[in-house]
Structure 1
Amino acid sequence: MTQPQVTYDDVVAARKVLADVLVHTPVVHSRALSEIVGGPVHLKCENLQRAGSFKVRGAYVRIARLTAEERARGVVAASAGNHAQGVALSAGLLGAKATVYMPEGAPLPKVAATRAYGADVVFAGQTVDAGLDAARKHAEQTGAIFIHPFDHPDVIAGQGTVGLEILDQVPDAGTIVVPVGGGGLAAGVALAVKSLRPGVRIVGVQAERAAAYPASLAAGHPLTVEPASTMADGIAVGRPGDLTFDLIHYLVDNVMTVTEEEISRALLLVLERSKQVVEPAGVAGVAALLAHPHAFEPPVVGVLSGGNIDPLLLAKVLRHGLAAAGRYLAFRIRLSDRPGALATLLARLADLGANVLDVVHERVDSRLHLDEAEVLVHLETKGPGHCDEVLGALRRDGYKLFFG
């Protein structure tokens, strides 16, 4: 490994900078995950950090280490939301003007929070990478200091303080699981933890639809991918950072991917069982635990990296998670277009113990015969077995079912 531009001593120094500014976030034990994994699982709740995520750690350290003259020129950043809020809050605390470039369509609560912390928000492109380009141009034109979301020694050192806290809170940790976008958090945590406990495994997790690291690690250098649409917008980064890639390449034991279904199931479990409101990117590590429970040596610590989720998205993701967990069922069903047919169906569903959430009745459609109607039904069920029981009973009753 080449001489790193960020060291363990930098992480220790960053911890001192942050000591009186940020929350020492709690670690909570998850009985549900412990039963699934077969050993103790704990969750590091960075969703409870100021500004709602770990990002404020690196942003504050970076801005705090600027000279007074540099802070007077202002700072500029690009982010889908969490780094934006971290920079906005940190700049306000340190007396610097902040401008943040965000993707068009960024979650409205993140936009509103960034503005509420005092930053000017400018929309640029559809991705974080487009915003990064715009932010760099802004810095060149105005003299503002560009605050990179992950690829800077001060930022990595700040994020590494999460690792120091984990070792204080769970000194016997065997594996630490970290969401990965650009890699600042994973790189910092790996640097801090491996410096003190080389035997602790560090596992990074990316959304399958925005996974630049697996291919980059295989190639031995950062590659650019085009992130597809993913609910985990906070880790949808098209290219690893140069510094973060180097640290992750040598210090992180494995980087794996998770699907949208696995992310939604994880969000539902964390909300129901641990009572933590977390954004999709923030539960990527938990999603990996659910998908591959025997791949992690306990005690395991999963980092819940952020909790800034749009309530509208939360409702959609929870429904997605319920469906993935077999507790939500949607299908279309053909009925005879006669009085009482719908009432008979609903009574049958009640007999089967299914809770009807929504019904849409369609009579006029080219696919239907004159004596037919079609109903779109949304049900709450008790699990996969109950779904099979409901569908099987309806088919035996002679109903025609359609999906998709």
Structure 2
Amino acid sequence: MPLDLDITGIVEAPRHIERVFLRSSLLTAAALDAATGCHVLAKSELANPIGCFKGRGADLFCATALAAEESVVCASAGNFGQGLAYAANRRGHACTVFASEQANPVKIEAMRRLGADVRLAGADFDAAKAAARDHALHTGQRWVEDGAEPAIADGAGTIALELLDAASFDSIVVPLGNGALLDGIGRVVRALAPHVHVIAVVAVNAPAMKLSLEAGQAIVTARADTIADGIAVRVPIPATLARLRDCCDDVVAVSDDDLFAAMQLIHRTLGVVVEPAGAAGIAAILATPKRYAGQRVATILTGANIAPVLRQRLLSPPLAFSR
């Protein structure tokens, strides 16, 4: 089934989304280009009230898809939960977020600070998701599934509108979790710049989305053990897979070592701290530099909400060894 290239909802989305989430910075650096062998255009979704791109889709969803005072429940590794908590609180909706018992404490604290009723359940995101869905069934709260709601993908798609308005590029490399980001960006690029190659990125240790898109059906994995909690999907959403496959030309996988090396390079050259999922695009470029050599390559720094242990590892000076 061909991709529906109707991007009307994306084009109209900015008038509903709070300005603090829009017109994010486009970062470049000669040192980053030298290290990657291509000209990198990094869309930085870090300098907003929740430190990630999720506010765009969450705010659009709350503005256009909810009845007055309708309460919501979702599952989140932390960033979408922050976005939904921020938007729901601002617009008068109660918000419950289920997160894994192993979730990043920085994200848990942030969701609570933003007004969410945060409940910890299960060993990973998908276990928390099952608990959240069950909670919605028994309480009547509106179940909000990141990756399945059209408004959330439309909000994410505004990133691509801004990118195409600011620069031209040959490829765009997109972190792939449950798929809202790829859905929105892929539709815009297919409609407005069909010559651009769209590459989705997963973690080697969380390959469910790659396996599923390649197989054409949902492939559930037993585990999703990666430092990149934002793309640590174990159970794909079956209904979205055909659409997501049409949104990209390829799906690649990067290791945790690739992700951390990308985080270090981003910090050294662009001067910003990103969480592992936010470095996935740069990690993919570093892993296969010949693929992008000499190109203009766009990517999205999707979030800055790094776990304390990783932050310390990233920012600690290298050890000096004496002879």
The one-letter amino acid of 2:22's match is: V
Q: TM-score, normalised by structure 2?
A: 0.93
The aligned counterpart of 1:45 is 44
The one-letter amino acid of 1:223's match is: I
Aligned pair 1:144/2:141, yes or no?
Answer: yes
**TM-aligned CA deviation for residue 32 of structure 1:** 2.4
160, 163, 184: which one aligns with 1:163: 160
Identity of aligned residues (%): 36
* Distance in 1 between residues matched to 2:284 and 2:66, nearest whole Å: 41
**TM-aligned CA deviation for residue 118 of structure 1:** 0.6
**TM-aligned CA deviation for residue 216 of structure 1:** 1.3
* Distance in 1 between residues matched to 2:240 and 2:162, nearest whole Å: 20
- Correspondence 1:75-86 to 2 at 5 A: 75-86=72-83
The aligned counterpart of 1:128 is 125
* Distance in 2 between residues matched to 1:264 and 1:66, nearest whole Å: 37
- Correspondence 1:4-403 to 2 at 5 A: 4=4, 7-18=6-17, 20=19, 22-69=21-68, 72-170=69-167, 172-296=168-292, 298-317=295-314, 355-356=320-321
Task: Summarize deviations over 1:337-358 as a string: whole Å, max 9, x none.
Answer: xxxxxxxxxxxxxxxxxx24xx
Give the alignment's Cα RMSD to 1 decimal: 2.0
Report if the CA contact (8 A) 2:21-2:56 is conserved.
yes
Report if the CA contact (8 A) 1:62-1:147 is conserved.
no
* Distance in 1 between residues matched to 2:191 and 2:271, nearest whole Å: 33
**TM-aligned CA deviation for residue 318 of structure 1:** 5.6
Q: 1:2 to 1:143 in 2, by over 3 A?
A: farther
Q: 1:311 to 1:183 in 2, by over 3 A?
A: same
Report if the CA contact (8 A) 1:44-1:303 is conserved.
yes
**TM-aligned CA deviation for residue 228 of structure 1:** 3.3
The aligned counterpart of 1:394 is none
* Distance in 1 between residues matched to 2:39 and 2:182, nearest whole Å: 21
* Distance in 1 between residues matched to 2:33 and 2:135, nearest whole Å: 48
Q: 161-170 vs 28-37, which deviates more?
A: 28-37
SS of alignment partner, residue 50 of structure 1: coil
Report if the CA contact (8 A) 2:3-2:246 is conserved.
no
Q: 1:114 to 1:39 in 2, by over 3 A?
A: same
Bigger RCO of structures 1 and 2 (CA < 8 A, at least 6 apart): 2
SS of alignment partner, residue 276 of structure 1: coil
The aligned counterpart of 1:359 is none
**TM-aligned CA deviation for residue 119 of structure 1:** 0.6
Which aligned runs of 4 or more in structure 1 are off by greater than 4 angstroms?
none
Aligned length: 322
Unaligned runs of 5+ in 1: 329-354, 357-378, 380-389, 391-404
Structure of higher CA gyration radius: 1
* Distance in 2 between residues matched to 1:145 and 1:182, nearest whole Å: 19
